[in-house]
Amino acid sequence: MTNTTWKEPTLAEVDPEIAALVAKEERYEQDTVRLIPSENYASRAVLEASGSVFTNKYSEGYARKRYYEGQAQVDLVEELAAKRVAELFGADHANVQPYSGSPANLAVYLAFAKPNETVMGLALPSGGHLTHGWNVSITGMFFKSVGYNVRRDNHLIDYDEVRQLAREHRPRILWCGATAYPRIIDFAAFRSIADEVGAILAADIAHISGLVVGGVHPSPVPYADVVTSTTHKTFRGPRGGMIMCKKEHAKIIDKSVFPGLQGGPHNHTTAAIAVAAHEAAQPSFKAYAQKIVDNAKVLAAELTERGFNLVTGGTDNHLILIDLTSKNIPGKVFAKALDRAGIVANYNTVPFDPRKPFDPSGLRLGTPAVTSRGMGAPEMKRIAAWMDEVVRKVDDEATITRIAREVAEACRAFPAPGIAVQ
C-alpha cells in the first residue's frame, strides 16, 4: 500500500459500534420532539467547524501571546470569535475560552472572590444554577453562599428579599440568571442592589443568550460587571462557554480563565463559536429568537387551557415550568411516559416543592430546538394535545406507541438542522 492510494478508514470502518450509535442518535433527534429548554440543534456549519482539524492544536495563552508556535490560523480564529461575540452583545471584551458554562462561572469566582468570602445567587429550588452557590457545588463549598428565592405567592424573583439579604450579608459577587425561570430578569434592579452593597454583579445568561442577541430579552451587558453564558443553548453554537465584561475587568477575567483555571483552549470549539456568532448576527436570527418566544407562549396557553398549572402562570421566554401537583402525577413519571411517546422534556423541582429533588413535582420544557426545525403555532398546539393525552394515559402503552408514531410522522416535515438522515 503506497501513500497515494491509501485511504483513511471512516468512523464506521474503525469503530462500527460508535458509528451505529451516532446514526441512531441522528435518527432519534430527527424523529422526536425535543423540548429540553437547554438543548438545541447546532447548524451543519457549526458542526463542521466543531469537527475540524483545530481539535489538533494546542494554544495556551491568548491570540498573539501564546506559549506554542504554529498559531497563525488559531490566532485569527480566536480573534474573530471574540470580536464577533463582543460586537454581538455590545460588550467591551469577550473571552471565548471557557470549556463550558460551569467553568465560565468558576472563572468569575476566581476573578472576584477569595475562598470563604460571601457570594449570593438564586437558590436551586427557585430555579437557580448549581454554580450560583448551591451546597453540592464547589461554589457552595469554597464560598459562603447565601441563596435568595422567588416569592411564595407568585413565584417571581423577590427583589425585596435580594436587597435585604444583600444588605445583611454584603456579598462579593451577586449572581443573577437562572436555569428554570420562565420570566424576564430585571437586570437594572440587580445593578442597583449590587451598587448599594459594593458587589460585583455577575449575570449568567446561559439559557437566554440567544434571546438577548435576538432582542427578545433585555440585555444585562449595560448593567452587569461580567456576563457569562454557555454557547450551546439558545445561542445554537457548539458546547462551550463565554464571558463578556467591562474593559476594567478584561485582564482579571482573562487571567482567571487562563492560567487560573484552564489549560489549552478547545480551538475547534472556538472556531464553531465564531460560526455561531456569525449566524446570530444575521437578521434571520432575530426572527428565530422571536419565534422561540412566540412558540413558548402558544404552548403555554394551550397547556393552560388543558388544565396544566404553569409556574408564574405562563412564560416570557423560551421556557415553561409545569407544576403537576394538580394532575396528580410526579414529574418523573410524566417525563418518562412523554419520552416513550417521542416528546423529550425533563422532570424538575418547582418552587417550594414538597417532593424530593430526584422525584419532584414539575416538568420543565422549552421551545429552542423545535423552533430551530421551523415548527410553529400549529405544531405547538399538537404537542400540547399529545401531552394532554399522555398525562391522562401514562400507563396505556398502546396510546403512547400510537403517539410516538404520530410524533415521528409529524417530525418528517421539519428536517433537523445538522442531521443528514431524514
Ligand X SMILES: *Cc1c(COP(=O)(O)O)cnc(C)c1O
- List interacting residues with ligand X (CB under 6 A): 38, 100-102, 105, 129, 131, 177-179, 204, 206-207, 230
> Is 230 assigned a catalytic role?
yes
Say which of 26, 28, 58, 304 is annotated catalytic: 58
> Is 183 assigned a catalytic role?
no
Nearer to ligand X, 206 or 322 (CB): 206
234 Cα distance to chain centroid: 6
At its nearest, how many Å lie between ligand X and the CB of residue 174? 15
> Is 339 assigned a catalytic role?
no
At its nearest, how many Å lie between ligand X and the CB of residue 298? 23
Q: Which three cell numbers stand for residue 169?
A: 450579608
At its nearest, how many Å lie between ligand X and the CB of residue 78? 19
Closest residue to ligand X, Cβ-based? 101
368 Cα distance to chain centroid: 10
Q: Which three cell numbers stand for residue 245?
A: 465584561
Nearer to ligand X, 204 or 254 (CB): 204
Cβ–Cβ under 8 Å, residues 150 and 126: yes
Going from the C-alpha of 336 to that of each of 2, 119, 348, 350, the distances in angstroms are 53, 36, 13, 18
At its nearest, how many Å lie between ligand X and the CB of residue 79? 23
At its nearest, how many Å lie between ligand X and the CB of residue 86? 20
Nearer to ligand X, 130 or 377 (CB): 130
Say which of 29, 204, 254, 323 is annotated catalytic: 204
Beta bridge partners of 226: 202, 245
| Amino acid at position 85, single letter | V
Nearer to ligand X, 105 or 145 (CB): 105
Say which of 39, 48, 60, 396 is annotated catalytic: 60
Say which of 84, 172, 233, 332 is annotated catalytic: 233
Nearer to ligand X, 61 or 147 (CB): 147
Nearer to ligand X, 40 or 71 (CB): 40
Say which of 32, 179, 230, 270 is annotated catalytic: 230
At its nearest, how many Å lie between ligand X and the CB of residue 340? 26
143 Cα distance to chain centroid: 24
Cβ–Cβ under 8 Å, residues 326 and 312: no
At its nearest, how many Å lie between ligand X and the CB of residue 102? 3
> Is 58 assigned a catalytic role?
yes
Nearer to ligand X, 204 or 225 (CB): 204
- Give the active site residues: 58, 60, 204, 230, 233, 239
